[in-house]
Structure 1
Amino acid sequence: MKSNIMQKTQVQRKPTRQRRNLSIATWEGVPSTIFQTLLGGQFLTGFLLYLGANSAQIGFVLAITTFVNIAQIAVAFLIQRLTSRKWALVLFVGMHRILWGATGLVPFVFPHRYWVAGFIGLYIVAFIFNTVGAMLWNSLISDIVPARVRGRYFGIRNTFLNALSTIMMFLGGMVLDHYSAAQGFFYLYIVIWISAIANIIVFTFYPDMAFERSAESKFIPMLRKPLRDGAFMKATLFLAGFLLLQNLVVPLYSYVMLELLHINYQTISLLNVTQTVFMMASFYVWGNLNARYSNRRLLFWTLPIIALAILCWGGLSFMPMLPVLFLAHMIFGVGVGGFNQLAFNFMIGDTPKSERPMYMAMYSAITGVASFFGPLLGGQVLEWIEAWPIWTQVFGMQLVVGTAMFVLAASLGRRILRDV
């Protein structure tokens, strides 16, 4: 009788513990979202322009964050030797937040001619720490969130945090339009530092879940696991190629709108808010579809939507500017929202649990290299065609890239992303 009571008590406590863990993971995202929203997107581009960066330098900054993901392959091996993923996560994420936040000190501690170089140096080191932290977070969160509720949980979490992101984008844009660049970014960095400190503190409340280690103890045999998985590698390489094309133009949207179309921060914030709202609405739809269809099939469905969003920029040749940009951002929000959610589910759901860190590292490394060269080449192309007619820089590149993405999706995508 006593044994039965104890068993019932344990059954009752387990869901409570899980709900608490899921709640911590959700609330941790609040300061993280504020921090990353105010340091990324149009705010990152705007701050670089304030520091004096050109399009090629902006392209490099936007690209480097994905290139360092190649280090995750080594991290996936070393993580097997950790006694605590949680405290390693706190350390590396904390260093990322501190160093990225420290970029706000560049105008105060560097001579003007070194502002861009100083920013890039801090930024690169910050994202080296981040690539380790991201691997640890992906590994830990996949154990925190039970597989049976994973789709619903991330749908709710993403919707909640993206709603917060839209508010912060709008408020941040208002601040930068109301004040001078120097004063506006000073106020934003105050909020950024408060969010960074809060984020680090909340990470300390994460549970330190038991870790199912790889069956392999040596690096090369562990590395071979995903490399020998033909279906996984084909899908990963294809998605990397698609992301290479996408990142030729999408990361540089803020540069085009700020420098070439002369749109103010508040309007750009409204465009990004619109994109995020449609992204949030799409999470629910993609989540429900994911209950009926595989990650691979739904990933394929997102590709023509993303390509269409990029092609919409061609409408600037015969339609008013703002309606075209709002339409492009709406469609892109639907497509990229589904892509990001399904790609994450593909990494943590379609891979063997014991080998998941190396699978995630391989995916991140390959797509990271592709995403690195995208904005780097895109920024350089904008430099090369600077003397060409303005339309080639505003929407000409988008027309070429969007068409190539459609062709790639229709030819290789249909074959590679079919259900296996």
Structure 2
Amino acid sequence: MRSRPLISRQKSLRKFSKQRKNLYVATWEGVPATIFQVLLQGQFLTGFLLYLGASSSQIGFVLALTTLVNIAQIGVAFLIQKLPSRKWAMVTCVAVHRILWTSTGLIPFILPKDLWVVTFIGLYTVAFIANTAGAVLWSSVISDLVPARVRGRYFGIRNTVLNALGSAVLYAGGIVLDRYPGGHGFFILYVVVWIFAATNIVVLFFYPDTHFEKSEENKFLPMFKKPLHDTLFMKSTLFLAAWLLLQNLTVPLYSYVMLQLLHINYQTLSLLNVSQTIFMMGSFYVWGNLNARYSNKRLLLWTLPIIAASSLIWGLLSVLPMLLVLFTAHIVFGVGIGGFNQLAFNFIIGDTPKKERPMYMAMFAALTGLSSFFGPLIGGQIYGWIENWPHWTQVYGMQIIVGVLMLALALLLGRRILKDE
């Protein structure tokens, strides 16, 4: 058998070495990004808003804003076709997001209290408008950096490593807020956030400026219509948007329920979220390996009953010890949501045409973002309406209703839409 020429092997090795370097950069960039995001979202975001004096409906609105601005990704997907460099546009957008979000930590120190919440919402909104542009650019770049043959396993490993780090940061942040309650604790967290936000921006400079295969369309409307005319893509996307509307009625407000209604401290809340993350990490490896054998859509379908079950488990608070139920619900949710997020991402970067991928990504983000916006917004309003209802309706009644609706949606429509063609 003839061996390949030496020059051909050398080119192959250089290409492999370059790919490996790019994957290392993408992985290490996630380290400061994870620390930054963990300390500013989830329970810490809810806690900081409560510290600023926000109501449940305001908290729901803030949690929903990050998904509403995803609609802007459609415009971004068209505009990036005109860019000479995706990399530097990505660095600029991400830097604006990081700087504006970290600046919210200064609000209690420089403004009167009656302006705290409204100023936070203003800065947060502009920050996430920049972030939605950065997200399109990053997804476009990373889909070109990661070869299709290793996508499932690479993102499984990357997500596992970063979520392990996130778990440690989450727990440490909870300890800090319990030991230093109020403004002192949040000041400490924001100091750490400022350091790693700056680090994240610097590491982004090391991303390669890869070749961009642009759309064959150069006008907005024809490009916009490409995903709309893809029937299989649109059916799947609209179904997942409906699913996320239901899911986000309650899930983003779990921290509110546990902090405000169950009076759980930050350290215990951190342990609950760490347990969720640990099982989510383990599921990444499992889902990644399954993805080598089964399609993205089929595996997405398998995740839905798991997520619905995690919501129904909250109903056991009526008969079982609180922490046992909460840990179980978080663990089951971690397994389900880990698979859902990973497979949904693989779906939009793997099951879509490469040249049109930015618009496909934008369409997916816009439709799921719109539904995810109304989810926590409606959920926050409902919690405000039922404030004087029996305590159980606020603590686990909502979760039971939502869990039943999600299970019905998965069984009645999911099996028909998320199937192999």
Structure 1 counterpart of 2:124: 123
Structure 2 counterpart of 1:216: 217
1:169 aligns with 2:191: no
Q: 1:11 Cα deviation (Å)?
A: 1.6
Give the whole-Å Cα distance in 1 for the aligned partners of 2:224 and 2:344.
21
Q: 1:100 Cα deviation (Å)?
A: 0.4
Structure 1 counterpart of 2:365: 364
Q: Give the letter aligned to residue 47 of structure 2.
A: G
Q: Give the letter aligned to residue 287 of structure 1.
A: G
Give the whole-Å Cα distance in 2 for the aligned partners of 1:7 and 1:37.
45
Q: For residues 13-28 of structure 1, what are the structure 2 equivalents within 5 Å?
A: 13-28=14-29
1:265 aligns with 2:266: yes
Structure 1 counterpart of 2:142: 141
Structure 1 counterpart of 2:235: 234
Structure 1 counterpart of 2:58: 57
Structure 1 counterpart SS, 2:39: helix
Q: 1:9 Cα deviation (Å)?
A: 2.1
Structure 2 counterpart of 1:331: 332
Give the whole-Å Cα distance in 2 for the aligned partners of 1:293 and 1:9.
35
- Which shows bigger deviation, 105-114 or 19-28? 105-114
1:68 aligns with 2:108: no
Q: 1:108 Cα deviation (Å)?
A: 1.4
Q: Give the letter aligned to residue 294 of structure 1.
A: S
Give the whole-Å Cα distance in 1 for the aligned partners of 2:281 and 2:140.
24
Structure 2 counterpart of 1:392: 393
Give the whole-Å Cα distance in 1 for the aligned partners of 2:172 and 2:98.
21
Q: Give the letter aligned to residue 221 of structure 1.
A: P
- Which shows bigger deviation, 332-341 or 11-20? 11-20
Give the whole-Å Cα distance in 1 for the aligned partners of 2:349 and 2:92.
23
Q: Deviation string for 1:125-156 (max 9, x for gaps)?
A: 00000000000000000001111111111000
Sequence identity, in percent?
A: 69
Q: Give the letter aligned to residue 234 of structure 1.
A: K
Give the whole-Å Cα distance in 2 for the aligned partners of 1:327 and 1:128.
35
Structure 1 counterpart SS, 2:16: helix
Give the whole-Å Cα distance in 1 for the aligned partners of 2:84 and 2:68.
28
Q: 1:4 Cα deviation (Å)?
A: 4.5
Q: For residues 171-320 of structure 1, what are the structure 2 equivalents within 5 Å?
A: 171-320=172-321
Q: 1:6 Cα deviation (Å)?
A: 3.4
Residue segments in structure 2 that go unaligned for 5+ positions in a row: none
Q: Give the letter aligned to residue 174 of structure 1.
A: I
Q: Give the letter aligned to residue 6 of structure 1.
A: I
Give the whole-Å Cα distance in 2 for the aligned partners of 1:389 and 1:398.
15
Structure 2 counterpart SS, 1:39: coil
Q: Deviation string for 1:358-401 (max 9, x for gaps)?
A: 00000000000000000000000000000100110100000100
Give the whole-Å Cα distance in 2 for the aligned partners of 1:8 and 1:384.
68
Structure 2 counterpart of 1:321: 322
Q: Deviation string for 1:259-314 (max 9, x for gaps)?
A: 00000000000000000000000011111111111000000000000000000000
Give the whole-Å Cα distance in 2 for the aligned partners of 1:11 and 1:51.
56
Give the whole-Å Cα distance in 2 for the aligned partners of 1:107 and 1:254.
22
Structure 2 counterpart SS, 1:306: helix
Q: Give the letter aligned to residue 89 of structure 2.
A: A
Q: 1:8 Cα deviation (Å)?
A: 2.8
Give the whole-Å Cα distance in 1 for the aligned partners of 2:297 and 2:15.
32
Give the whole-Å Cα distance in 2 for the aligned partners of 1:205 and 1:122.
28
Structure 2 counterpart of 1:150: 151
Q: Give the letter aligned to residue 39 of structure 1.
A: L
Q: 1:5 Cα deviation (Å)?
A: 4.0
Structure 1 counterpart of 2:97: 96
Q: Give the letter aligned to residue 212 of structure 1.
A: E
Structure 2 counterpart of 1:350: 351
Give the whole-Å Cα distance in 2 for the aligned partners of 1:278 and 1:344.
19
TM-score relative to the length of structure 2: 0.98
- Which shows bigger deviation, 67-76 or 4-13? 4-13
Structure 1 counterpart SS, 2:200: helix
1:47 aligns with 2:55: no
Give the whole-Å Cα distance in 2 for the aligned partners of 1:336 and 1:342.
10
Q: 1:10 Cα deviation (Å)?
A: 1.5
Residue segments in structure 1 that go unaligned for 5+ positions in a row: none
Structure 2 counterpart of 1:410: 411
Structure 2 counterpart of 1:31: 32
Q: 1:12 Cα deviation (Å)?
A: 1.5
Give the whole-Å Cα distance in 2 for the aligned partners of 1:180 and 1:281.
33
Give the whole-Å Cα distance in 2 for the aligned partners of 1:7 and 1:385.
69
Give the whole-Å Cα distance in 1 for the aligned partners of 2:254 and 2:286.
26
Q: Give the letter aligned to residue 400 of structure 1.
A: I
Cα RMSD after superposing both structures: 0.8
Give the whole-Å Cα distance in 1 for the aligned partners of 2:270 and 2:216.
48
Number of residue pairs the alignment of both structures matches: 418
Give the whole-Å Cα distance in 1 for the aligned partners of 2:68 and 2:5.
54
Give the whole-Å Cα distance in 2 for the aligned partners of 1:110 and 1:364.
35
TM-score relative to the length of structure 1: 0.99
Structure 2 counterpart SS, 1:115: helix
Q: Deviation string for 1:95-114 (max 9, x for gaps)?
A: 00000000001111211011
Give the whole-Å Cα distance in 2 for the aligned partners of 1:179 and 1:190.
14
Q: Flag as ranges the 4+ runs of structure 1 deviating above 6 A.
A: none
